[in-house]
Chain A
Amino acid sequence: MNVVLAKTEAAHAKSDIIAVARDRLPGTGKVADLRRQALEAHERLGLPHRRIEDWKYTDLRVLMREVLPLAAAPDAEALKRAAAALKLHAIAGVRKVVLVDGVFAPTLSETSDLGKDINIRTLREALESGDAASQAQLFSPDNSDAMVALNSAMMTDGVVIEVGDNAVIPLPLHIVHIASGAAPAAMFTRSLIRLGKHASATLVESYIGAEGAKAYQVHDSLIVAIGDGARLDHVRLIEDSREAFNISSAVVTLGANAHFNTFGMNTGSLVSRYQAVIAVAGEGSRVETNGVNLLNGRQHADTTLFLDHAVPNCSSREIFRAVVDDRGHSVFQGRIIVRPKAQKTDARMMTRALLLSDEAEADNKPELEIFADDVTCGHGATTGALDESLLFYLRARGLSEKEAQALLIQAFAGEAIEQIANDALRELAISAAQRWLEARG
């Protein structure tokens, strides 16, 4: 009885959330209908829990318990705190697009002088435009994942980027998600990047909290469409507050002879989940998806990748590293499907975890489902501690225990970081790893 009652209350609570938020959610008509459907799906499913296979290791009913109310639109004070945080995490040589508490912040962004090759709008503009085509690409018809459905229902803002055919965008685009920390609240964002044929661009996504920001929730999603012969380099860095939640997803589609090089690093947040569905839909395409989790304290980070090879002659590489200290928990789930037509697929996945304490935990779940017979596919997973003989060698050469560990951890994470094709982005990941190591003491 109590359980049913509790669920009903939770459902009511969520309907209240959207009722309260309704006048702040952009879009009417068809958009509002799609939101309603998504919300119904989310309410039916509830928060994901351990009995749902994809969420087995990340039970949000235990870890997150509830979805916080929608964050207020940032006021002048919030923007000031965000600006200070932005300064600390500034990257040289990029074009910044900043979202504060889930809302586009024009004063902190650099969206002027874009040129003719690239078009950037806010999600709000796209949803309110009344343009059915651009609205359709922002909604997934699939509401089977409770958190993606919630994001569809609640998305308030984001960045919609369109790069024209043959355009080469030299300046990386940097979407910065900043939680101003005014109050514990949730932000719901969705962004899209679409690359025309033979276009190339670089996208960096950072998630940070302003000083004092604590238990906030980031609910984000990204839609990526890479046209024939196009290339996207992508890096995401989660450096959220150590009490924050970051629940993100990505849906990526590649055309023919397209190339997607993506890397994720997670050193922040208390609980994070990133699930990416990558559909290799055009022949001759390449995907490299790599990542590093550096965790300590009671941090929990879940990376769930689903690579879908539907056509012949494509390749994919996944290299994932987790370094887990204290009572941290790293989860890597990598699923590769090679469909019957996807002959000559070359798909490989290698995941390794390094446990620095007896209470650290790493779960690696590689899954290969191969329905074509002429393919090269492989996966490997290892978990272990730092090699004592290497530690002794370094200490015999004058490195303290911490210094020796740091050097070996850098080398271990480096195997994934090295896969970042763009030099500047690779440096970015290296410095994020160094910040984690320095904070470790």
Chain B
Amino acid sequence: MSLLEVKNLQVRVEEREILHGLSLTVNPGEVHAIMGPNGSGKSTLSHVIAGKPGYEVTGGEILFKGENLLEMSPDVRSSKGVFLAFQYPVEIPGVATMTFLRTALNAQRKARGESEFSTPDFLKKVRSVAASLNIPQDMLRRGVNVGFSGGEKKRNEILQMALFEPSLCILDEMDSGLDIDALRVAADGVNALRSPDRAMVVITHYQRLLNYIVPDFVHVMSKGKVVKSGGKELALELEASGYAQFEDAA
């Protein structure tokens, strides 16, 4: 069984159709890159998979481990293993990062019928993951993302990914706002999480990110559809020729 099956998905936002019959199949262990120009619907796809309000699905379906994902609330999707690394992680003043991480992890575990982590076990786990991502301890005491640099915010997303151990990771424009060093740290963090039972969907505008996170498959989106799919060499081809050739194909 595929991990994620998006079939002929049609999505509207305020009367405007953004996705016009998008299909995508992702199997465990695979890394898929979704590329495309601004406005092609890449972020919309990630939001609809995560369950963000404000999108109306007018056709098609999304199956996650064979279940109808669209019927689930965002928190249920999360506890079942869907993780969206946000393009713009929000700042939550007054909620310490550590409190947030523990509340979220235990909420997911509770939803799965697992026992809550004890405080010492939790702290040990967070500290070891944070250390591997170069996240200083004082960052964990601060409000969620409050005063974090762009790179720190993205590392905080990857920290959560490592902690929650989802089976599907969607990385929405992970490279936006990162300089080359920050990008390398983030990409190393993501690569460390690649595993045979975890899949990743990497959404990006630029090929650059794919030098660091090398995908198994590349899909080109244009005007709300996947217009071309191929191997990792497709990304290089795009880098050379640009998206213009696909604008007409859509």
A binding-site residues for B, Cβ under 8 Å: 387-390, 392-401, 403-404, 407-408, 410-412, 414-415
Are B73 and A411 touching (Cβ within 8 A)? no
Are B78 and A395 touching (Cβ within 8 A)? yes
Are A389 and B108 touching (Cβ within 8 A)? no
Are A403 and B94 touching (Cβ within 8 A)? no
Contacts known (A388-B53, A392-B74); A403 close to B107, Cβ less than 8 A? yes
Are A407 and B90 touching (Cβ within 8 A)? no
B binding-site residues for A, Cβ under 8 Å: 50-53, 73-75, 77-79, 84, 86, 89-90, 92-95, 99-100, 103-105, 107-108, 111, 143, 160, 164
Contacts known (A403-B103, A407-B100); A396 close to B92, Cβ less than 8 A? no
Taken together as a complex, chains A and B put the C-alpha atoms of A407 and B75 apart, in Å, by: 15
Are A396 and B84 touching (Cβ within 8 A)? yes
Greatest chain A CB density within 10 A among B53, B94, B160 is at B94
Which of the residues A387, A395, A414 comes within 8 Å of B73, measured between beta carbons?
A: A395
Are B92 and A390 touching (Cβ within 8 A)? yes
Are B75 and A399 touching (Cβ within 8 A)? yes
Tell me the nearest residue of chain B to A389, going by C-beta: B90
Are B94 and A398 touching (Cβ within 8 A)? no
Taken together as a complex, chains A and B put the C-alpha atoms of A410 and B160 apart, in Å, by: 22
By DSSP majority rule, is chain A's interface helix, strand, loop, or mixed?
helix
Are B75 and A408 touching (Cβ within 8 A)? no
List, in ascending order, chain B residues with CB within 8 A of A401's CB: 73, 75
A-B pair count, CB < 8 Å, reads 76
Tell me the nearest residue of chain A to B95, going by C-beta: A411
Are A393 and B86 touching (Cβ within 8 A)? yes
List, in ascending order, chain A residues with CB within 8 A of B90's CB: 387, 389-390, 393
List, in ascending order, chain A residues with CB within 8 A of B164's CB: 397-398
Taken together as a complex, chains A and B put the C-alpha atoms of A395 and B82 apart, in Å, by: 12
Tell me the nearest residue of chain A to B92, going by C-beta: A390
Are B93 and A411 touching (Cβ within 8 A)? yes
Taken together as a complex, chains A and B put the C-alpha atoms of A411 and B91 apart, in Å, by: 12
Which of the residues A388, A392, A399 comes within 8 Å of B104, measured between beta carbons?
A: A399
Min distance, Cβ A247 to any Cβ of chain B, angstroms: 32
Are A398 and B100 touching (Cβ within 8 A)? no
Q: Which 8 pairs across A and B sit closest by C-beta, in order of nearness?
A: A411-B94, A398-B108, A397-B104, A395-B74, A398-B78, A398-B107, A414-B94, A411-B95
Contacts known (A388-B53, A415-B94); A393 close to B89, Cβ less than 8 A? yes
Are B107 and A399 touching (Cβ within 8 A)? yes
List, in ascending order, chain B residues with CB within 8 A of A400's CB: 73, 75, 107
Min distance, Cβ A272 to any Cβ of chain B, angstroms: 25
Taken together as a complex, chains A and B put the C-alpha atoms of A387 and B74 apart, in Å, by: 16
